[in-house]
Amino acid sequence: MISNLEKEITFRYLKTRKKDGFLNVITIFSFIGISLGVAVLIIVMSVMNGFRSDLIKKINGFNSHATIQSYEEKLNLKKIKSSNINNQIDEAIFSNNGEGILINRNISKGVLIRGYKKDDFNKLRIVQNKDFLGNKLLDKGEISISREMGYDLNLKINDKLSLIFPSSEDTLVGSFPKQKTFQIKSFYNSGFNDFDKYIVFINISDLENQLDLKFENRFLEIYFKDPTDIDKLKYELARVYPEELIYTWSDLNKPLFLALKVERNVMFIILSLIIIVAAFNIVSGLTILVKNKTREIAILKSIGVKNHSIRKIFFLVGFIIGTSATIFGVILGIMFSIYIENIRQFISNLFNITLFPEEIYFLSKMPYELDIKSIFLISICSIISTCLVSLFPAIKASNLDTIKSLKYE
């Protein structure tokens, strides 16, 4: 417990006085350093969390959350319908894919072709996107390409283009690659340049006919209601399909997300050093405070104030500085994170520069995601650091010799 005397003395030492000028400067810099360290750490963590979430949304907007591929026999959809994981699944769609060459006038381009049933195409996240243009159904003889591909090839909806497939057919003059003309029915926009440049969608019947694929070659694409804990969901799928190949969005992008995780952890450690360095200023401030208050400490001891009360007083001074600086830093970091896109635009317009170009970072705006657990962890680490560095000056103050202090004062 903290007595009224300890509270009164603690708050008196926290008040600024003219003769404590240098001490006040150290205290102010300690406060500013801890606040900025906490704020910067929250901002960086929130931006990196936002970037990761935005990247996952874009990847999952284009790819399925999990894909199941059979080695030999046709996939049985009834298995998953009767399993416990079914209530976590939003959609289960059959698909197939292959490669081909897109031809328009004198332009040819290698593409990856994805095939879906007419009604299943409408269930894709990329089709439900507000940037999607055209018919959301994909019938035989129809094709969906990206907006960027349409712009590069000068194509519009209802225009026609041809696809050459790697499979061949026999004719009177020899064997030639299969070719089919398709009508453009829609434009999609994934937000990923690499996807938009090379992927087209056609009806799965056209794809299988042109590439001589069997029904057993089809993939089963799984879309979950919440794909966050994808490793656990993959384990549940493996129990339903133990003999089939299962891969998820996490498996396909493991190097990228592993790099993001490592970078996030390293940034947390590096930026935490700012808080630790700032916290050590409290040691300097409290040490000078103890030196300046030697006479007062001796008087307090002579009137019966215990050593543990002296320790408590100086510890509370450091604790209050560190805690108040942490709280201010948390508020500053949260506010900066919320308005970071407005700040980015302001800096870009003011200095006429482009911060975080979209073609490099896949971002149309600065993302952020405030994680309560991360903010709590940062706050606790900051407060613990200030508590630890406050112990030494507090112990030193309590160990002062009363007689010697009064003698030399």
- Report residue 134: phi and psi, to 5°: 110, -165
What lies within 8 Å, CB to CB, of 378 at 6+ separation is 38, 41, 42, 45, 330
CA angle 53, 55, 57 (to 5 degrees): 70
Q: Is residue 155 part of a domain?
A: yes
Indicate whether 214 and 70 sit together in one domain: yes
- The verdict on residue 239 lying in a domain is no
Both 89 and 127 in a single domain? yes
Alpha-carbon Rg for the chain, nearest whole angstrom, is 33
Average pLDDT, the chain: 79
Q: Are 94 and 208 in a shared domain? A: yes
Same domain, 41 and 138: no
Q: Does residue 133 sit in the same domain as residue 205?
A: yes
Q: Are residues 76 and 51 both part of a single domain?
A: no
Task: Reply yes or no on whether the pLDDT at 363 is more than 70.
Answer: no
pLDDT in tens, 239-253: 888 888 888 888 877
- Under 8 Å between Cβ of 20 and 290: no
Domain range for 119 is 66-226
Are residue 220 and residue 289 in the same domain, yes or no? Answer: no
Model confidence pLDDT, tens digit, residues 246-294:
888 888 777 777 777 777 778 778 777 777 777 777 777 777 766 666 6
pTM score, two decimals? 0.69
Is residue 128 domain-shared with residue 78, that is, in the same domain? yes
Q: Tokens at residue 30, please?
A: 């300690």
For the segment 178-192, the average pLDDT, to the nearest whole number, is 87
| Digit-coded pLDDT (tens) for 86-144 | 888 888 888 888 898 888 877 888 889 999 998 888 888 888 888 888 888 888 999 99
Q: 70 with 192, same domain?
A: yes
Tell me: do 124 and 204 sit in the same domain. yes
Same domain, 188 and 330: no
Q: What is the pLDDT of residue 355?
A: 67
Do 176 and 79 lie in one domain? The reply is: yes
The whole-number average pLDDT for the span 305-326 is 80
pLDDT at residue 309 tops 70: yes
Which of 173, 205, 226 lies at the terminal end of a domain, its last residue? 226
Q: Is residue 245 part of a domain?
A: no
Give the model confidence (pLDDT) of 206-258 as tens digits.
Answer: 988 888 888 777 888 888 888 777 888 888 888 888 888 888 888 877 777 77
**Structural domain count, the chain:** 2
